């Protein structure tokens, strides 16, 4: 979203020659990304974990990739229309005399609140953590479910 | 493991693989994040491969090249519509060249909670031996 603003309103900023190059580079990136079938701009909240939110007629589904997290280290709460996920990821190993070649996996605490687009039934929330993928399915409130209307 | 207690986790974009060889099947391919450490006796590799089931994981070691491949089954139901998509899913692929001599017979692999733990024992002759110099 911030990118959109930068692209559409270039005049209110101080211009520099590097800025122009930078802009060209990001536009090229965007074109290249488009070729590979990925959406050119992905809105991210910048908060761990990245989530995918989908819906069907009955439920909302929130999915997040949380490899290496035990279900005990995860706290999920639904308050009103907000789903909060918090927990801790531990990546340390208890091996004596370990010497690292690479250390790319990161550990730490996280917490995030995801606003759901419609009303939900807080009593009917189901969370599963399988193979490092968390799936929270939240039943929509009766009022938020789509209703087929027949023409009489 | 000590400083993780206070650290906040930051969201990171998944790294897409950039290889010269193209895939025959369309789809995204990602690089799993790994930790690799060694002890006196073995080399241990931990790789984050969320969503990969045991049957879809392929580990191959030949001529000192270790290849990890993990396929992902689609999660979404047919009826589901996207509202917010912050990450993509796809295959995992990564290759390593091992400098150590590995005892191929005793390689162990375990996959739990989306993390692969691969234990590669060094062969006997590669384990360091302290050499004492005797005065003579």
Q: Distance (Å) from the C-alpha of residue B134 to the closest C-alpha of chain A? A: 28
A42 lies in a domain? Answer: no
Tell me: do A55 and A124 sit in the same domain.
yes
Tell me: do A110 and A74 sit in the same domain.
yes
A29 lies in a domain? Answer: yes
Confidence of residue B99 (pLDDT cuts 50, 70, 90): confident
Q: Distance (Å) from the C-alpha of residue A12 to the closest C-alpha of chain B? A: 30
3-state secondary structure A98-139: CEEEEECCCCEEEEEEEECCCCEEEEEEEEEEECCEEEEEEE
pTM for this predicted structure: 0.72
A137 lies in a domain? Answer: yes
Tell me: do A57 and A30 sit in the same domain.
no
Question: Residue A27 is part of which domain span?
Answer: 2-35
Best of A47, A50, A100, A118 to substitute, by most chain B Cβ atoms within 10 angstroms, is: A50
CATH class for the region spanning B30-75+86-136: mainly beta
Write down the mean pLDDT value for chain B. 82
Taking only the tens place, the pLDDT of each residue in B45-94 is 999 999 999 999 999 888 888 899 998 888 777 788 888 888 888 889 99
Tell me: do A82 and A28 sit in the same domain.
no
Tell me: do A136 and A105 sit in the same domain.
yes
Whether B121 shows a pLDDT value over 70: the answer reads yes
Q: Could you tell me if A31 lies within 8 Å of chain B, comparing CB atoms?
A: no
Q: Could you tell me if A34 lies within 8 Å of chain B, comparing CB atoms?
A: no
Q: Is the peptide bond before B48 cis (omega within 30 degrees of 0)?
A: no
Tell me: do A61 and A15 sit in the same domain.
no
The backbone torsions φ and ψ at residue B33, rounded to the nearest 5 degrees and listed phi first, read -80, 140
The confidence score (pLDDT) of residue B85 equals 85
The confidence score (pLDDT) of residue B1 equals 45
Select from B4, B11, B44 the Cβ nearest to the Cβ of A50. Answer: B11
A135 lies in a domain? Answer: yes
A58 lies in a domain? Answer: yes
Select from B1, B38, B76 the Cβ nearest to the Cβ of A99. Answer: B38
d(CA B78, CA B87): 19
Residues of chain B found within 8 Å of residue A92, distances taken between Cβ atoms: 1-2, 4
**Going by C-beta distance under 8 Å and a sequence separation of 6 or more, which residues neighbour residue B125?**
B101
d(CA A119, CA A79): 11
B114-123 average pLDDT score: 90
Q: How many CA atoms lie within 13 A of A127 on its CB side?
A: 20
Q: Could you tell me if B130 lies within 8 Å of chain A, comparing CB atoms?
A: no
Q: Total domain count for chain A?
A: 2
d(CA B121, CA B100): 9
* Residue contact A132–B38, C-beta within 8 A: no
Tell me: do A61 and A26 sit in the same domain.
no
Tell me: do A102 and A131 sit in the same domain.
yes
d(CA A62, CA B85): 10
Where do the domains of chain B lie?
A: 30-75+86-136
Q: Distance (Å) from the C-alpha of residue B105 to the closest C-alpha of chain A? A: 22
* Residue contact A131–B51, C-beta within 8 A: yes
Residues in chain A, how many?
Answer: 152
d(CA B111, CA B33): 15
Q: Please, what's the b/e burial string for A18-55 (b: 16 or more CB within 10 A of its CB; e: otherwise)?
A: eeeeeeeeeeeeeeeeeeeeeeeeeeeeebbbbbbbbb
Greatest mean pLDDT among A4-8, B55-59, B120-124, B129-133? B55-59
Rama region for A131: left / alpha / beta (φ>0; ψ in -120 to 50; rest): left
Q: Distance (Å) from the C-alpha of residue A79 to the closest C-alpha of chain B? A: 20
Tell me: do A121 and A81 sit in the same domain.
yes
Q: Could you tell me if B114 lies within 8 Å of chain A, comparing CB atoms?
A: yes
* Residue contact B81–A129, C-beta within 8 A: no
A45 lies in a domain? Answer: no
pLDDT per position in chain A (152 positions), as tens? 444 444 444 444 555 667 777 777 777 776 666 555 545 455 666 788 889 999 888 899 999 999 989 888 899 999 888 999 999 988 877 777 788 888 888 888 999 999 998 889 988 899 999 999 999 999 998 887 878 888 88
Q: Could you tell me if A17 lies within 8 Å of chain B, comparing CB atoms?
A: no
């Amino acid at each position: 979203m911030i990118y959109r603003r930068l692209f559409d309103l270039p005049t209110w900023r101080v211009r520099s020659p590097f800025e122009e190059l930078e802009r060209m580079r990001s536009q090229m990136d965007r074109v290249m990304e488009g070729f590979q079938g990925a959406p050119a701009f992905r809105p991210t909240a910048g908060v761990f974990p990245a989530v995918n939110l989908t819906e069907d007629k009955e439920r909302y589904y929130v999915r997040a990739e949380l490899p290496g997290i035990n279900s005990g280290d995860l706290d999920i709460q639904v308050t009103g229309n907000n789903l909060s996920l918090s927990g801790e990821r531990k990546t340390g190993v208890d091996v004596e005399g370990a010497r690292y070649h690479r250390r790319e996996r990161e550990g730490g605490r996280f917490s995030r609140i995801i606003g759901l687009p419609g009303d939900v039934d807080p009593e009917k929330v189901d969370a599963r953590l399988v193979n490092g993928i968390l799936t929270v399915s939240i039943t929509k409130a009766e009022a938020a479910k789509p209703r087929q209307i027949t023409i009489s | 493991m000590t400083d993780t207690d206070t650290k906040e986790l930051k969201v990171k974009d998944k790294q897409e693989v950039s290889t010269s060889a193209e895939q025959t099947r369309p789809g995204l391919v990602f690089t799993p994040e790994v930790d690799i450490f060694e002890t006196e006796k073995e080399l241990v590799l931990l790789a984050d491969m969320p969503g990969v089931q045991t049957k879809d994981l392929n580990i191959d070691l030949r001529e000192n090249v270790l290849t990890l491949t993990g396929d992902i089954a689609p999660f979404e139901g047919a009826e589901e519509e996207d509202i917010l998509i912050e990450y993509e899913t796809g295959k995992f692929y990564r290759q390593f060249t091992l400098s150590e001599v590995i005892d191929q017979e005793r390689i162990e692999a375990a996959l739990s909670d989306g993390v692969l733990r691969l234990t590669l024992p060094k062969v006997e002759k590669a384990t360091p031996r302290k050499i004492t110099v005797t005065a003579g």
